[in-house]
Every structure is written in C-alpha cells, then in structure tokens.
Amino acid sequence: MNSYIAGLHLSHAQGVESIVATSTVAMMIMFARDGSRNMKNAHKEGGEIKSLPTTFIGRFVTPLHALAVTVVPVTYLAGVLSNRMVQPAWYARTAFDVGDLSVGALAWIRTGAAAVAWIGGVWLQRACLRALGKQFHFIGTRDKAQVVSTGPYRIVRHPLYSAVLGQLAVLSIAYWSWIPLVSLGITLGAFAVKIPIEESLIDNDLAMGTAYAEYKKKVPYRLIPYVW
C-alpha cells in the first residue's frame, strides 16, 4: 500500500513513520518553547532560586531523568530520519509482538497514540505551567515563594512528573517499542528520589513550609491519584 503526504510518494510503512515522526518533532518544539518561555517569566516575576539541593544525588537526579526522557524521541527520530522514514533493523528489534493485529489496525493505533502524546502532552504541560506561573523551576524554591494548589495541582502534587510518565507510556505505543518503557522505569526511579528532596526544600522554607504542610494534607498523592 502506498500513500501521499505533502506530494511525496510513500509506502505504507513510510507513511506511518512520517506521521509519528512529524508529531514527535512538533511535540519537542512546543515543549522546549513553552518551557523556555515560562522559565524566563518565572525568573522575572518569581525572583532567583534561593534554595537548591546540596547533595550529589539531589543535583544529579534532575539531569538524569531529563536525559532518560530526551533519549526516547531523539533515538526514534535518529533511526527513522536516517533510514528514509522506516524504522531501521536495530530499532525494529525493540518492537512489540503485533500478534493478530492487522497492518491497518496497528497504523491507526500508533497514529492515535502519537496524537495523544503530542496534543494531550502539550495541553497538560501548559495547564501545569499556567498553574505554576512564577514558581516554575526544575527543583528549588524562589525568592517569592508561594504554594501552588490550582489546576492539576489540585489532584496530585507533581502533575508535571505524572505527565512525563504518562507520555512515555503513550510513546511506547506510538513508536511500538519497549525503549520508552525502559526510560519510564528510570524516570520513575529518579522521581522517587527527587520528590522527597524537592518537598523537603519546600517544607524547610520559612515563607511557605506551613502552607505546604496543609497542602499535602489536602492533596496526599504525589504522582498517581489513590496510588502514590
């Protein structure tokens, strides 16, 4: 089966990978743009970071999960873009067993997952960043510290992290590969270490430690409602 995208004659496999790759590139651009824009606004309105982790693990954990997450789309794009929009053999070896799925059904599943990862991921990130506003940072408290309890923060205390984990799960379907699941495991482990460190910084902040203790009582779950 052949298809045409932007006037190009593509095989069925190339058509699917083109859609998934395009959504991945768009997702990465929008994530980077929104994050950079909100970080600049946070520095301007919330002031400088006044407390950061002092231990090696506290400083290392953020780059670790950032790298684990970034490797997933970069690895996928490197593979298909260097192989004429077809997954190369080394990447195809990480694929799930399709079982009785037809080629057409798999294409729809992967396309739908790519759309969810892109549109849903961007929407949720923006909702979290809007709620965070001037408090946004990777880890630490700002001069104008304030507890955020609106938007997604009414449901869990770290919805941005929840969004990252959910997106990796969806990308495993979009890429039809277990590579994103490996990253999900590493990232979840990093969050399990990072969250207590991050919350300890807030607990010890004179400006919002008491308010954050009350917030934790109202929102007891860190990442997954009714689970953890």
Measured CA to CA, the distance from residue 193 to residue 143 in angstroms comes to 24
Q: What is the number of alpha carbons within 13 Å of residue 182 lying toward its C-beta?
A: 12
Model confidence over 137-148: pLDDT tens digits? Answer: 777 777 777 888
DSSP string spanning 28-57?
Answer: HHHHHHHHHHHHHHHHHHH--EEE---SHH
Model confidence over 77-97: pLDDT tens digits? Answer: 999 999 999 999 999 999 999
Question: Please, which residues have CB within 8 angstroms of residue 55's CB and are 6 or more apart in sequence?
Answer: 197
Model confidence over 170-192: pLDDT tens digits? Answer: 999 999 999 999 999 999 999 99
Q: Which residues pair with 5 in a beta bridge?
A: 8
2: left (phi over 0), alpha (psi -120 to 50) or beta: beta
- Which 3-state string (H, E, C) describes 95-164? ECCCCCCCHHHHHHHHHHHHHHHHHHHHHHHHHHHHHHHHHCCCCCEECCCCCCCCHHHHCCCCHHHHHH
Inform me whether the pLDDT recorded for 152 exceeds 50. Answer: yes
Residue type, 200: S
2-218 placed in CATH 3.50.50.60:
no
First to last CA, the chain: 46
Q: Of 213 and 132, which is predicted with more confidence?
A: 213
pTM, entire model: 0.88
Confidence of residue 7 (pLDDT cuts 50, 70, 90): very low
Residue ranges of domains in the chain: 2-218
Q: What is the pLDDT, as a whole number, of residue 10?
A: 58
